[in-house]
């Protein structure tokens, strides 16, 4: 047997092994991708240490209507174990300032949602049709809710205690939800403007496709979190002496 034939026979098994390894790698890619998608995205850079605080502990007159703790939401089921609202401390303080400024106009704030663990954002993305994806955050990038710096909210009347009527309902995935929607009544648009002015004065910016969604100005300074509500509470208990 000449040297060329010997060399060919020697390398043939190695080539088969490399080919098999390549095939196995390709077959494993979907599983690897799926596993990666079950965890929050990795971020580079330096962030502030999370300091989530329960909003109603700063001002008990802020009302809660946490739809994601009930089946009354677009998911059709409860995705939170409790009706609670948390924000990073500077955002929560800013929200309280907006709430107290609104009291002079006869209104208060009702919170629909605030900090949202990342796994809930992933769930929302998975169940939302492609033509409605603009209304939910991509879990591959994370949400400002995941950073504890976004809040969904509306107004209530101090005199009656009733929530006001806006041009659309909460989580309305139509053009009626846009902050510049020209439909609805004059009064509905006026109330939407009052909410926007109060939140912007306190350091929040509206997400235009959703009149109810506001992002705190420093949201980029906080990491994406997947911490449960119970874990937040336990962490707070381990940090005694922190005032509002």
Whether 210 is catalytic is yes
Predicted pLDDT of residue 58: 98
Of the listed 210, 221, 231, 233, which one is catalytic? 210
pLDDT surpassing 50 at residue 103:
yes
Query: Chain-centre distance of CA 198, in angstroms?
Result: 21
Structure tokens at 92: 């929560």
Using a pLDDT cut of 70, give the percent of the chain over it.
Answer: 81
Choose which CATH entry (3.40.640.10, 3.40.630.30, 1.10.569.10, 3.30.1380.10) describes domain 52-237. 3.30.1380.10
**Longest pairwise C-alpha distance within the chain:** 101
Predicted TM-score (pTM) of this structure: 0.81
pLDDT tens for each residue of 209-239: 999 999 999 999 999 999 999 999 877 544 4
Predicted pLDDT of residue 13: 54
Name the DSSP class of 95. Answer: H
Give the residue extent of every domain in the chain.
1-37, 52-237
pLDDT band at 145, cuts 50/70/90? very high
pLDDT surpassing 70 at residue 26:
no
State how far the Cα of 231 lies from the Cα of 200, in Å rounded to an integer.
31
Name the DSSP class of 232. Answer: H
The secondary structure of 24-56 as a DSSP string is HHHHHHHHHHHHHHTSPPP--S--PPP-EEEHH
pLDDT tens for each residue of 32-45: 344 445 899 999 99
């Amino acid at each position: 047997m000449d040297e060329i034939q010997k060399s060919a026979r020697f390398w043939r098994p190695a080539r088969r092994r490399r080919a098999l390894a390549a095939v196995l790698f390709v077959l494993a890619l979907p599983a690897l991708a799926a596993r990666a998608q079950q965890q929050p995205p990795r971020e580079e850079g330096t962030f502030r240490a999370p300091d989530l605080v329960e909003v109603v502990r700063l001002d008990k007159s802020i009302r809660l209507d946490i739809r994601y703790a009930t089946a009354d939401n677009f998911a059709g089921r409860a995705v939170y174990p409790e009706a609670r609202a948390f924000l990073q401390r500077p955002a929560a303080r800013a929200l309280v300032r907006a709430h107290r400024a609104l009291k002079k106009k006869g209104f208060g704030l009702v919170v629909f949602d605030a900090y949202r663990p990342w796994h809930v954002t992933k769930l929302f993305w998975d169940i939302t049709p492609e033509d409605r994806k603009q209304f939910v955050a991509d879990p591959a990038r994370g949400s400002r809710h995941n950073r504890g710096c976004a809040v969904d909210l509306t107004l209530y009347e101090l005199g009656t205690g009733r929530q006001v009527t806006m041009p659309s309902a909460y989580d309305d995935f139509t053009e009626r939800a846009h902050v510049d929607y020209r439909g609805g009544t004059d009064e509905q648009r006026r109330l939407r403007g009052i909410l926007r002015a109060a939140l912007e004065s306190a350091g929040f910016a509206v997400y235009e496709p959703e009149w109810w969604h506001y992002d705190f100005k420093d949201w980029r300074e906080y990491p994406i979190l997947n911490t449960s509500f119970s874990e937040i509470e336990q962490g707070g208990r381990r940090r005694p002496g922190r005032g509002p």
